[in-house]
Structure 1
Amino acid sequence: MKRADLGRRGNYGALFRNGTMDFLAGWLLGCSQLGGLSPGALLHTFARITDGDPRSWVDAFARAADATTARAEAASDPVVAAGAWLAATTAERAALMLQDPRTPNAEAARARAAEAFEAFLRSSGVPLEPWAIPFAGESLPGYVSTDLTRTRPLVVVVGGGDTSAEDLWFLGGGAFIEAGYAVLLVDLPGQGSTPADGLHFGPATLDGFWAVLDAVRGRGFGGDIVLCGWSGGGFFTTKAVEASRPSDRIVALVASTPIHDIGSMFERAMPGLARRAPRGVLAAAVTASSRFNPVLAASLAKYDWQFGPLGIAGALEAYASMTAVDLTKVDLPVLALVGDGEDAELHRQAADVVAAGRPSSRLITFDHASGASAHCQLGNLSLALAEATGWLATVAPASGDP
C-alpha cells in the first residue's frame, strides 16, 4: 500500500512506497549530479532504510554522515577532502529531513552540517564565506561571495520549507558561481536553523527578506540583484519583486515556481489533511496520522516547528489572508521553471507571473522524459540550472554589461 506525500510533488514511486520518503530520496539523487553523496552511496544507504520508518531513515543517514566525515578528515588531497565534506553535509541534512527538530540530536546535526559545508568551502577554494545577517535580535545564516563587486550581478538564492542555506549550493549556488555571478545563499525566518532562535514562517519571513537586501547594500554591494526562489521561495521572491524599492535594483526573477497567490496555492495544492482541517482538528489528525503514516507525521512535526506558535493550521490561515501579488508590479524578466509532475495550480500561477513580466520572460515546462518533472526539477537539476544560467546570460549577464 502506498502512503501519501504532503502534496503532488511528482514522485516516481520507484525508490520507496512511502510518498514522502520517495520524494526525499529523489531529491538526494538529483543533488548527487552536482556533488555530495554519490548515487552509489545513496543506494547503499537506501537499502538500509525500512520503508515508512522515519527512525531507520535518520539512523541510516547518520551512519553515512559519520563515514563521510571520517573520510574527509583522513583525506590528504584537497579535492578528495572537498568531495567528502560536501557528502557529509548532504548526509547530515538528509538525516534532518525526518528527525524531530526540537531534539539535542537535531541541533547537533544542524551544527555539523554547517561545519561540514564550511570545510567543503575551505578545501575546494570556492569563493564563498559564512555570513550571519542580523535580524530581530538574532541572525539569518547564509553564505556570500567573498569578491562582491558592482560590475556583476548578485544572485540571491532562497529555498522553501525543506531547505537550509547549505542545500542552496545544489539549487543554484554552485551553478551561478560557475557562470560568473556573485551569490548569496540565505535562510529566511522559518528556514534552516532559524526556528531554534524563535524565527518562524509568517510575516517575519518577508521582513527578513528586506533585512537581507539591506544588509547586502550595507556590505558595500551597489550592483544589480537577481532573485532565485525554489518551492516556497518562489512565493517569497515574487512577493519581494512586487514590493521592491528602486534602491534594491532587482533586475530579474528565476523561480521554480513563481507563486503570486499563496492562499489559493494552499487551498488547491495541499492535501486534505492540511487544507480542510481547522486548527484543533488538524492537531488531532496529525496525532492520528502517526499511527498510520509516521513519515508524514514526522514531516508535519517539522513544519509545525518552523511555523512556531501559530502551528501549521494557524500559519495556513495567516498565509491565506495575505493579499495576492499585484502582477502589474512584476515589471522585470521572469523565468519560471515547472515540472509536469507538479500540481496544476503551480502551472497556472507560473504562467500568470510570466505573462505579467517583460517580453523576455519565459515559462519552461519539463516533461517526465526529461527527468526534471518533479517539484523543483530535483530529478535533473543540471538541466534546470543550465536553462536558468543560459536565460540569465541574456537578461542580466555575469559581466554586468547590458
Structure 2
Amino acid sequence: MRQLFDDPLWQMFAERALTTMTRGGAEYGEVAAIAEQAGAGDAGAWHEAWSGYADRVRGWAEDSHDRGHRVSAREAYLRAATYLRASYQPLFGEPTDPRLVAAFERESDCFGRFAELAPHPVRPVRVPFEGTGLPGYLCLAGDGVRPLLVCVNGYDSNVHEMYFSFAVPALRRGYHCLLVDGPGQGGALILRRLRMRPDWEHVLRAVVDAALARPEVDGDRIAVMGWSFGGYLAPRGAAGEPRIAALVADPGQWDQAAAIRAVLPPPVRDRFPDVDPAELEPLLAAAAGDPVGRWKLVQRGLWVHGAATLADMMIDLGRRYTLSDVAGSIACPTLVAAADGDPASGGAPALYEALSCPKRMVRFTAAEGATGHCESWNRSRFDQVVFDWLDETLFGID
C-alpha cells in the first residue's frame, strides 16, 4: 500500500479508516483525496480535511436518498461516518475538544441514517447501567430466536467501527450482534464522561441482562468477543458472568502489570506497581516522546482513564487491571487469539495456560496476511477461524 503520510501518526489513522474498506466503510481513492487535502498540517488541518470530505459524501447520500436510491444512500452514509470518526482521532485528550464532540455526534447521525436503510435491522439500544445508559446497536440477522454475539470494545473504537469487524461477519452467519460502548469507550466516554474501569464483570452483567430481555435472543447461546483492550475486558467480564456460552479474546491479554513491566528498566521493573510515581514519570515521559506514543499515552490514555498523570494511570493499571485472580472462574469454552506483529498479544499464552475451561489457542500469522493488531488487514481469515469455532462450540457443527 502506498504511504499516504510521512507522519506515522497520520498514517496510522488513515490506515485505520482503510481497514473498513472491504466492508463498505471507506474507499481508497477517497482516503487518498483526503490525504492530499490534509497535507502535512496539524490536527486542525487534519480535522477540517476529513470532516469536510465527510460532508461531501453525506451530500451524495442525501441526494441518492431524496431520489429513492436506498442502497446508494446507505453506502455513502456509512463511509461518511468513517471519515468523521477519523477526523477527530487526533483531537483525543482532556479537556474534551468541542470539535471532537460535534464530529462524533455527526458520525452518530450518519451511522443512524445508515441503520435506517440497512439490509438487516440495526436498532439503537440503551443498556441500563448504574443510573445511566450505555449506547449501542442491536443488529438482527433475520426473524426468529437466534444466537447472539456480544461485542466488547477496546480503548479508542466505538460501536460504529465495531459494526464492520463484528456485525458484518456475524450477520452473514445468522448471528444477531449486540454492539455496546462501555465505560471509557465511544459515546459512553465522549457524551457521558464514563471512564474506563477494570471490573468489567459488572458491565457485562448489565449487557447480558439487557440482551436476555430481548425476545430475539437465544439465551443459551450468547457469545462474547472482545478486541484490542477488549481482550482483557471480555475475559474479565466472562469470569463473573456464568450466562456466557462462549468467549473470544482478540488478542488474549493478562495482568496489565506484566505488560508494563516488560517495557520498564530494572530496578523499577522488579518493584512495579509498588513504585513512587515520581520515579516512574520520567520513564513514561520518554515513552511518550514521539507522536504515536504521545497520542496513545497522553492524549488517549489520560482521557480514557481520567488520570492526572501517566504514572498514576500506569500504577492503577498495574494494581487493578488483573486476570490472574479470576481466569480460573471462566467456565465457558474460550478461544484465545494472538497475531504476529501485535504487541498486545504478549499476554495470550499466560491467559490460555490459566484457563481450566475447554479452550483453544489460535495464532494468526504474517504468512496468512493476518499480522498486526487485531488482524486488521485480514479480518476475513480471523472471521473464518473464529466463527467456525463458534458454530462448532454453540451448535456442535463440524
3-state SS of 2:186 partner: coil
**2:106 equivalent to 1:117:** no
Structure 1 unaligned regions, length at least 5: 1-11
3-state SS of 1:166 partner: helix
Does the aligned pair in 1 maintain the 2:136–2:180 contact within 8 Å? yes
Distance 1:340 1:130, change over 3 A: same
**Which residue does the alignment assign to 2:226?**
229
1:53 Cα deviation (Å)? 3.5
CA offsets 1:62-109 (integer angstroms, 9 cap, x no match)? 122111111111113111111101101101111121114612221111
Match runs of 1:137-286 below 5 Å = 137-146=131-140, 151-195=145-189, 196-203=191-198, 205-220=200-215, 221=217, 222-245=219-242, 248=243, 250-268=244-262
Distance 1:359 1:61, change over 3 A: same
3-state SS of 1:304 partner: helix
**Which residue does the alignment assign to 1:60?**
49
Distance 1:51 1:377, change over 3 A: farther
**Which residue does the alignment assign to 2:269?**
none
1:186 Cα deviation (Å)? 0.5
CA offsets 1:269-322 (integer angstroms, 9 cap, x no match)? 6999xx9996568888989999x7456544432332221255554332222113
Distance 1:279 1:352, change over 3 A: closer
Answer with 378-387 or 159-168: which moved more: 378-387
Structure 2 unaligned regions, length at least 5: 267-271
AA partner of residue 250 (structure 2):
S
Does the aligned pair in 1 maintain the 2:111–2:160 contact within 8 Å? yes
Distance 1:265 1:289, change over 3 A: closer
Distance 1:316 1:17, change over 3 A: same
1:225 Cα deviation (Å)? 1.1
Does the aligned pair in 2 maintain the 1:99–1:106 contact within 8 Å? yes
Q: 2:359 aligns with which of 327, 352, 361?
A: 361
State the identity as a percent.
27
Q: What's the RMSD between the two structures over aligned residues? A: 3.3
Does the aligned pair in 2 maintain the 1:48–1:60 contact within 8 Å? yes
**Which residue does the alignment assign to 2:335?**
335
Q: Distance in 1 between matches of 2:264 and 2:19?
A: 23
3-state SS of 1:198 partner: coil
1:146 Cα deviation (Å)? 5.0
Q: Distance in 2 between matches of 1:342 and 1:185?
A: 24
**Which residue does the alignment assign to 2:129?**
135
CA offsets 1:114-147 (integer angstroms, 9 cap, x no match)? 1111111111232220011122222111001357
AA partner of residue 331 (structure 1):
A
Does the aligned pair in 2 maintain the 1:198–1:308 contact within 8 Å? no
Distance 1:53 1:287, change over 3 A: farther
AA partner of residue 146 (structure 2):
R
1:22 Cα deviation (Å)? 3.0
3-state SS of 2:10 partner: helix
Does the aligned pair in 1 maintain the 2:302–2:313 contact within 8 Å? no
Q: Distance in 1 between matches of 2:250 and 2:101?
A: 29
